[in-house]
Amino acid sequence: MRLLMRVVHGCYDAIVAAGWMWIGVPVPAPRTAHPGLRPPPPGHPERVRPDIPLTPVERVLRRQLVSRN
């Protein structure tokens, strides 16, 4: 169903763009595909617990992530 909706939205956007070209009005900006990433909500199992220290592997991964930014 999700794939069908994506195809329908894509066809609709193409028809709208073609219509805008015929009447000479600039095409509106495309919709954003994905909203920004957010951290997990409180109580989520993937959230980092502040009362438990990181394992050595987690510390290495955190160091790598921080050094990339």
Chain segment 11-67, per-residue pLDDT in tens: 998 888 887 777 766 667 777 766 666 778 887 888 777 888 989 998 998 888 877
**pLDDT > 70? residue 1:** yes
Residue 47 lies in a domain: no
Q: Do 20 and 27 meet the contact criterion of CB atoms below 8 Å apart?
A: yes
| CA distances in angstroms from 43 to 48, 53, 55, 57, listed in the order given | 10, 18, 20, 23
Residue 68 lies in a domain: no
| Paired tokens of 49 | 């617990």
Compute the Cα dihedral for 15, 16, 22, 28 and give only its sign.
negative
pLDDT value, residue 57: 94
pTM equals 0.35
Residue 15 lies in a domain: yes
The residues, ordered by sequence, that sit 6+ positions from 52 with a Cβ below 8 Å of its Cβ are: none
Tell me the residue range of the domain where 20 lies: 1-30
Q: How many domains would you assign to the chain?
A: 1
